[in-house]
Chain A
Amino acid sequence: MEGHGSLVIDIKNRKVKDLRLNIFEGSRFFEPLLKGRGYDEVPEISSRICGICVIAHHLTAVKAVEKALGVTPSEQTIELRKLLDLAGLVQSHVLHLYFLALSDYLGYESTLAMIGEHPEVVKRALRMKKLANDASELIAGSPMRQATPVIGGFTSLPTKHQLEHLLRRMKDAKTDAIKTLDLFASLKVPEFERKVECFALAKEKTFAIYDGEQIASTEGLYFPVEEYQQHIKEFVVPYSTAKHSISVSTGESFLVGALARINVNKQHLSDGAKEAMDRIEVRFPNYNPYMNNLAQALEIVHSIDQIVCTLEKLLDVGVKDEKPEVKVRAGEGVAATEAPRGTLYHHYKINNAGRVEYANIITPTAQNLKNMEEDLKAVVPQLLDLPKDEIVLNLEKLIRAYDPCISCSTHFLETKFV
C-alpha cells in the first residue's frame, strides 16, 4: 500500500535501461525554518531531523554553532560528547542490524517474529539497545531528547558513581558485541563488488566519529570540512524528496557510512576490533555494499572498547563542575561528524544578535542515495535468473544494508519492473 519510496526498474534484453529510487517521504524544510532562530535552539531543532540518529544531528549542530561563535569547549566536554556520540552510534547500529537487517538473512519477516524461536537473539538486541540508551540518558538526560548538551558544554553532569556503574556495564557488554559480530559474520551475503570512492571524517591516529576537522577519501582526498562544497556536490532530482550527491573530483557517486569509515580508517580501529577482524578473516578495503552490515557490527565492538577507554580516562581525571559559557558574536561555522549512516555536515551563519542567517545540512542519506542507485543498477543483471521475489529480496537487502535515514530503509519497498 502506502510507503515512503518505491524502486522502478526498466529492463530490456537483460540490460537495465533505467532505475530510479523514488523517495516521496514528506519534506520537512528544516533549513529555511532554522533561519531567524536563536543559536541555542539550533541543536534542538536540527536533532528532530532524524529519530534514529538524533544524537549525531544534535552534536554536529552544537559543533558547527560553536565554531560560528568562536566557542572552544573544554576537554572534558569533548570527552563526554565522544561518549554520547558513540552511545548513539551503538544504539543506531543495534537497531539497524537486529531490527531491520537480520530477519532478511534468517528467513523471518521481522525480528519481532523471531522472539519465539530465537529469544536469546532478540533479548541480546534489546539488552544492547537498552545499555546504549542508558548511556545516552546518563550523559544527555534522554536518549531521544538531548536536554543537557548545549553550546559551550553541558547543563548537567553525571556523577563519578554513575560513570563507574556505566563502565562496569560497558565492560560486560563486550561479550554481546562479539556475539553480534560473530552472528553477522556467519551470514552469507550476496557476492558483489563495485569499487567506489569512500569518504570519512579523519583525525590523526583516531577512528574519527565526533572529533575531527578533515575529510579523507580512498581516492586520496584530504580536505578541511569547511571546503565540503568544493568536493561534494548536492543536487535535486525530481523523483526524490531526498537529494542526491556526487564527488566533484571524480564526477561519480560515492559512499559514506560504516563500510566507508572502515575502508578509510581501518588502521585506527581499537585493538579489540582489529583482533576480531582477523579472527573472522575479513579484509578491508572492501567494496561489497552488502558488507556494510558486518562493518557496523565491527564498529559496535570498536565503540564499546572506545567507550570503556573514554570512561576510564574521565574517571581518572575526575568530572569537574563546569558551566557552559557563550559570548554571542557573528560568524560562520561548518562541522562534520560521523553519524551512524555516514558523514554528516552542518553549516550555519549566525548574526551578531545570535540568530541564524543561513543553514545547510547534508545528511549521509543524501550522499549515499545516488551510489545506492548505481549499486542497484550493477547488481540487477547478476540476479535476473532468480525468481522475482528473490530478486526483490536481494535488492531490499542491499538497500537495507545501506540503512538509509528514510523510513524506506525498511520494508516499504514496492518494486516495479517496467
Chain B
Amino acid sequence: MAGQKLTLAKGLNAGLRAAMEKDAKVVLMGEDIGKLGGVFRITEGLQKDFGEERVIDTPLAEAGILGTAVGLALRGYRPVVEIQFDGFIYPAFDQIISQVSKMHSRSLGYLKVPMVIRVPFGGGIGAVEHHSESNEAYFAHTAGLRVVSCSNPEDAYWMIQQAIECDDPVMFYEPKRRYHERAEVEIDDAAGAPRGLHEAQVLREGTDVTLIAYGPMVKTCMEAAGAAADEGRSLEVIDLRSLSPLDLDTVTASAEKTGRVVVVHEASTFLGMGAEIAAEIQQKCFYHLEAPVLRVGGYNIPYPPSRFEEEFLPNLDRVLDGVDKALAY
C-alpha cells in the first residue's frame, strides 16, 4: 500500500484483513458486520473472504456479544468485537468491567481473554442521541483493560493489528468523523509497525505550548498549530494514541520543554482523560511549568442535540483560546 491514498476506514479494514490472514484464531463479531460490512463499512468484504464462522453477524445484544466473546477467548480465539456506536456499549459494560478486565487476574494468570473491542466514538457528524459519545474514560479508569485511539489511516492499519496481537483486552476507539478522510500512506509491511501500541507520537515540534490530543481532536490541534504558527507561536502537538497506559515519558518531556500544556478532547472534562494527564504533569514537571495545565473539552452536560454540537465540541478557535490562556500566565 505504498504511497496510496487511504482512508482511516480502509486502513482499519486492511489491518483487520492482515490480522485475519496471519492468525486463524482471529474472529470478528458484531451487528451487521457481515454482508453489510458494518454501518461504517469497516469490515466490508471480510465475511465474503473469511466466511460466516470468522465474521459473525451476532444477535442485536451487546452484553451477549461481549459475553460470548469472553467464552470464545477462553476457548483460544481472539475475538474482535465491533460496537456499532459509542452510546450502545453500556449493555455490555457489566461484561467488560466484571469479566473481561478481571479474568486474567482472578485466575492468577491461568486464563487470558485477548480481545479487541472496537468503538466508533465522538461527535461532529450531526447524529441523533447516543451516537456521538466519548466514553473512553470509563474504561481507562478500569484496571485490566488497555485503551487506545487511532487518529490517522497509518495508525489505524498498524494499531488494530497490534491490539489484536496483544494478550490483554484492548478497547480500540475509532474517530468516526475521521473514518473517510484520506491521507497519503506509506505502508511497509516488511518493516512492521513504526511504533509501539502504547507510544505517543510528537506530530509537530514546537517550543511555546504543548497540545495533547487523541482520536478526532488530533487533526483539530494540528490545524490550530498551523494557525498559531501564522501568528508567530510555536505549538508542539502530541498524538497520545494510548489512553491506558499513558506514555508519560513523551508527555513530560514535552511539558518540561514548553512549560505550558493544553489537553484537548471531546469528552466532558470532569474526570476525563485531561484530568489525569494534568495531575501527572503537575506531579512530575512541577518546577518546569510556566502555567497550570489547562483543558479544552466537552462541557459537563449530556451530549447535546446536534444543532449544538459545534459549540459543544472543541474546535480550532477554542483550542487557540486555551493556548492564549496558557500563554497569559
Chain B associates with chain A: no
Which residues of A approach B to under 8 Å, CB–CB? Answer: none
